[in-house]
Amino acid sequence: MKHTTWPGRSDGLRFTAFRLWNTKGEKHHKLHPTKHSNRMSSGRASSSSSTDGRDFSALPYELIMIIGVSLSHPNLRAASLACKSWYEALQPLRQAMLYMRWGKRFKHGRGGVQPNMDKALDAFLKGAALGSTMAMVDAGLIYWERGLKDKAVALYQKAADLGDLSGKCNLGIAYLQVEPPNPKEAVKWLYHASNEGHTRAQYQLALCLHHGRGVDRNIKEAARWYLKAAEGGYVRAMYNVSLCYKFEEGLARSHRQARKWMKRAADRGHSKAQYEHGLALFSEGEKIKAVVYLELATRGGESASAHVKDVILQQLSETSRDDVMLLVNQWRALPSSS
């Protein structure tokens, strides 16, 4: 699902380990394996439980499953080694992870298989039936792309109810796009995911606040969420933060901050940011750097960038033009969360 970035034309670890509490309310260590020991035998776990009163094996299967849903594949395997009860309780989720892997292979044509969306959907649905919230979200995405929005929303809802942040985010976005839209319900779920640190949800929530969809328009609050998403690595939010600083929209005007965030967005592949950063560099006399960003923007679909780039190229020597094209072809976007 694609969403327009304000105000121009341009416009993904999902889980963390839960802490455990015993019946007396005492906190347990996180389930992440430590750097000293990635595995622990059931014998060691039983010994530890018997000596310090923390009996993981006594937890109900339902609670173990809820904990397991939040774990990445490596942590799920590590948790399965805690004791026999955990191994047995988490077996469905381990099986679901295998279905997830096959679903990804069929969806993207990896691992020696041809892309096949029907087989991908079948694998995701089998994983979802075994309790994987990640599989629910991926199956929902395929349903959404096929126009089966009711089925997609149902899967997003189930994943969201189980605490999945991507499920909450996608559910919020879906409520904005279904017919008729339900902006208030959308904002509710986007707030849930945003408060737990989901950068895409933070960006979408900022858009709602900026345009007054499902909530009273609040530019200052919108800028705050744009900034949170940008600091978390969300590229489109970086671009919007730059505009907020430039035009004093919810943030104090700052040319330095505007330039900083525009460059960050440009370096992570935002084509409109590349165009605007290229123009800024040209105005400062940095012709070669300007052409690099303008060429990248042109390749990204910013048609206005091509004319400016051609004008600058005419002012450069043949050697400089060759150097520019070499830099462009070697350029790689910096990593981001979007």
Position 8 scores a pLDDT of 38
Report pLDDT digits (tens) over 112-136. Answer: 999 999 999 999 999 999 989 999 9
> Are 284 and 198 contained in the same domain?
no
Residue 44 lies in a domain: no
Kindly state the average pLDDT of the residues 59-85.
66
Position 64 scores a pLDDT of 60
Residue 233 lies in a domain: yes
Position 24 scores a pLDDT of 38
> Are 275 and 249 contained in the same domain?
no
> Are 173 and 256 contained in the same domain?
yes
User: Which amino acid is located at 322 in the chain?
Assistant: D
Asked if the model's pLDDT at residue 232 lies above 80, the reply is yes
- The stretches of 20-148 forming alpha helices (DSSP H) are 42-52, 61-69, 73-80, 84-89, 91-108, 117-129, 133-145
Task: Map tokens 């430590």 to a residue.
Answer: 34
> Are 154 and 246 contained in the same domain?
no
Distance of CA 60 to the CA centre of its chain: 32
Q: Which of 265, 296, 313 is the last residue of a domain?
A: 265
> Tokens standing for 271?
């084509």
> Tokens standing for 247?
């035009």
Kindly state the average pLDDT of the residues 224-247.
98
For the chain, the residue count is 338
Comparison of pLDDT for 6 and 123, the residue scoring more: 123
Q: How confident is the model at residue 67 (pLDDT cuts 50, 70, 90)?
A: low
Q: Which of 162, 184, 200 is the last residue of a domain?
A: 162
Position 68 scores a pLDDT of 64
Q: What is the DSSP string of 233-258?
A: T-HHHHHHHHHHHHHTSSS---HHHH
Contact assessment for residue 239 and residue 263, using Cβ atoms and an 8 Å cutoff: no
> Are 233 and 274 contained in the same domain?
no
What is the CATH classification number for the domain harbouring 214?
1.25.40.10
Burial class (CB in 10 A: 0-12, 13-18, 19+), 219: middle
Pseudo-torsion of CA 36, 38, 39, 44, nearest 10°? 30
Kindly state the average pLDDT of the residues 272-291.
97
Asked if the model's pLDDT at residue 140 lies above 80, the reply is yes
Comparison of pLDDT for 32 and 184, the residue scoring more: 184
Asked if the model's pLDDT at residue 2 lies above 70, the reply is no
Asked if the model's pLDDT at residue 34 lies above 70, the reply is no
> Are 111 and 185 contained in the same domain?
no
Residue 325 lies in a domain: yes
> Are 158 and 180 contained in the same domain?
no
Of 73-82, 95-104, 144-153, 198-207, give the lowest mean pLDDT range: 73-82
CA neighbours within 13 Å on the CB side: how many for 23?
7
Comparison of pLDDT for 38 and 259, the residue scoring more: 259
- pLDDT exceeding 70 applies to what percent of the chain? 77
Asked if the model's pLDDT at residue 195 lies above 80, the reply is yes
Position 25 scores a pLDDT of 40
Comparison of pLDDT for 161 and 85, the residue scoring more: 161
Residue 8 lies in a domain: no
Position 63 scores a pLDDT of 59
Q: Which of 265, 295, 324 is the last residue of a domain?
A: 265
Kindly state the average pLDDT of the residues 43-65.
50
Q: How many structural domains are present in the chain?
A: 3
> Are 232 and 253 contained in the same domain?
yes
Residue 115 lies in a domain: yes
- Prediction pTM value: 0.78
> Are 145 and 171 contained in the same domain?
no
Position 92 scores a pLDDT of 80
Asked if the model's pLDDT at residue 11 lies above 70, the reply is no
Asked if the model's pLDDT at residue 186 lies above 60, the reply is yes
- pLDDT exceeding 90 applies to what percent of the chain? 69
Kindly state the average pLDDT of the residues 5-15.
37
The mean of the pLDDT values for the chain is: 84
Position 6 scores a pLDDT of 46
Kindly state the average pLDDT of the residues 190-196.
98
Q: How confident is the model at residue 96 (pLDDT cuts 50, 70, 90)?
A: confident
Position 62 scores a pLDDT of 58
Asked if the model's pLDDT at residue 32 lies above 50, the reply is no
> Are 149 and 182 contained in the same domain?
no
Report pLDDT digits (tens) over 299-324. Answer: 999 999 999 999 999 999 999 999 99
Q: Which domain holds residue 325?
A: 269-333
Residue 28 lies in a domain: no
Residue 18 lies in a domain: no
> Are 101 and 185 contained in the same domain?
no
Residue 202 lies in a domain: yes
> Are 201 and 275 contained in the same domain?
no
